[in-house]
Amino acid sequence: MANTIELKQQIAQGEYDAAFTKLYGASAVQEQRKRYTDLIDEFEKKYGTSRTIRLYSAPGRTEIGGNHTDHNNGVVLAGSVNLDMVAVVSPNEDNIIRVKSLGFDKIDDVDVNVLVPQPQEAEHSASLIRGVVKGIVDAGGKVGGFDCYSTSNVLRGSGLSSSAAFEVCIGAILRGEYNNNDMEKFSQVKIAQIGQFAENVFFGKPCGLMDQTACAVGGVITIDFKDPEKPVVGQTAIDLAKHGFVMCISDTKGSHADLTDDYAAIRREMESVAEQFGKKVLRDVDEDEFYKAIPQLRKAVGDRAVVRAIHFYNDCRRAAQLCDAVREDDFDAFLRLIIEGGHSSFEFNQNAYSIKAPQEQGVPLALALSQKVLNGRGAWRLQGGGFAGTIQAFVPVELLDAYKAAIDGCFGEGSCHVLNIRNYGAVPVTPDM
């Protein structure tokens, strides 16, 4: 461990360049040197100089296949990206966790001795911190206070899971500072489960486990949630450059605020179908039996619940097929399945825009522009929770300038982000990582 002055010197002398290359790519080393150094400067302004500190990072994620399937124990394909939350951390003896985020005036103060949801914290970041602390304690871990200054370039409200990155980063900090970075007791999947618990119980959002798992584990992963207590995680790789493609995440500048009810309705309606068969989740309902029962289901739960269930079955199957296409390097099949999944999300899962504000349709507009530029040459889809935020596209390099011009021309300069898959999840950032 080093104090703030020593760590800044180590960064300036290039001791962290290898770590930055692994996390962000060789071309980003100088940018990350400045980013981390500036963050340590901000830590010193808030908490004092010469404190002993550690660095932590947790990435955002992009969903590749399996849209809204995780919360009903389905199958997904996801990847962590080279946008992340970075935290400068120093333990304290106050039993208080203090988290200050760059660009935000408030600071979250959480007493680790109070481990029940606080109503005034619902849907605020303090609730996530408190929930993660509770999850660590429930799993037999130790907790304590720390002072933290953080920054994140994971686009907020974008479908890249800024909240999941935050949760698993807090989990990684508590694992590192108070549990000897025990990767057996607190595996990346366990840290993900604790993050989901925090979001479900303390924050008040009934999310599944995909976001946290992808952010915590890193790389390109398949996740089968048949047993959510023991999700089956497998890793694979996508070589986009080999096929002359890049992945673009385009920010339509829509906010995820006030959309919790929209997200919750998808899970609620899928589970309402399962309830008609005496089951909790759709994964436990035989697909053939479901189709036979559609006439009765329409009357019992409504048409939207039925078509969302159809999306669930199709997209679980498609996620597995996407994984096969990646492993077999069948890129044409990969692109076709991406487009099919995008249509299913829009038409059957119906999470392209909120019916509460039908005049706001940034996601459908971005998809329409993508189709105009890429039709027959690439693939495009909405991703994440949907209703607002970002879309994903796989773009041939020769069309990248035209694609960025179309997206940026509509949603503003810099709306189209060209991202890489990162192979590290929620980790301490060290010279020898």
Q: Give pLDDT tens digits for 342-369.
A: 999 999 999 999 999 999 999 999 999 9
Q: Are 357 and 320 in contact (CB under 8 A)?
A: no
Share of the chain above pLDDT 90, in %: 81
- Which band of pLDDT confidence, cut at 50, 70 and 90, is reported for residue 146? very high
Interacting residues of 70 by C-beta distance below 8 A, sequence separation 6+: 76, 208, 209, 210, 223, 225
Q: How many CA atoms lie within 13 A of 413 on its CB side?
A: 0
Average pLDDT over residues 35-63: 96
Q: How far apart are CA 386 and CA 22, in angstroms?
A: 30
- In the numeric block, the tokens 């990847």 are attached to 79
Task: Specify the pairing of strand 390-396 against strand 232-236.
Answer: unpaired
Mean pLDDT of 65-91: 94
* Amino acid identity for residue 209 in this structure: L
pLDDT score, position 369: 98
| Average pLDDT estimate for 133-159 | 90
- What pairing do the DSSP bridges indicate for beta strands 96-101 and 146-152? parallel
82 vs 420: CA distance, rounded Å: 6
**Are 234 and 214 in contact, with CB atoms under 8 Å apart?**
no
Given a cut of 70, whether residue 156 has pLDDT beyond it is: no
With bands split at pLDDT 50, 70 and 90, how would you rate the model's confidence at 198? very high
| Predicted pLDDT of residue 318 | 96
pLDDT greater than 90 at residue 229: no
Q: Give the 3-state secondary structure of residue 302.
A: coil
Task: Give the mean model confidence (pLDDT) for residues 243-250.
Answer: 93
In contact, 90 and 146? CB cutoff 8 Å? yes
Query: Cα dihedral sign for 207, 349, 218, 280?
Result: positive
Phi-psi region of 386 (alpha: psi -120 to 50; beta: other; left: phi over 0): left
Asked if residue 197 has pLDDT above 90, the reply is yes
**Structural element, H or E, at residue 232:** strand 232-236
pTM over 0.85: no
Q: In which residue are the tokens 């008040």 written?
A: 204
CB 426 within 8 A of CB 56: yes
Residue 177, classified by CB atoms within 10 Å of its CB into exposed (0-12), middle (13-18) or buried (19+), is buried
Cα separation, 393 vs 403, in Å, equals: 10
Mean pLDDT of the chain: 94
CA dihedral over 174, 58, 78, 269, signed as positive or negative: positive
Distance, in Å, from the CA atom of 1 to the CA atom of 429, rounded to the nearest integer, reads: 11
- Quickly state the pLDDT bin for 201 (edges 50, 70, 90): very high
Element housing 134 (H / E):
helix 125-138
Alpha helix stretches (DSSP H) within 198-350: 210-217, 260-275, 287-292, 294-301, 303-327, 331-344
User: Residue 158 pLDDT > 80, yes or no?
Assistant: no
Q: What is the pLDDT of residue 256?
A: 63
pLDDT confidence tier of residue 427, bands split at 50, 70 and 90:
very high
Q: Which residues pair with 250 in a beta bridge?
A: 391, 416
What is the Cα–Cα distance from 323 to 187, expressed in whole angstroms?
A: 24
3-state secondary structure of 233: strand
- Dump the DSSP string for 38-57: HHHHHHHHHH-SS-EEEEEE
CA dihedral (166, 216, 285, 353) in degrees, to 10, reads 40
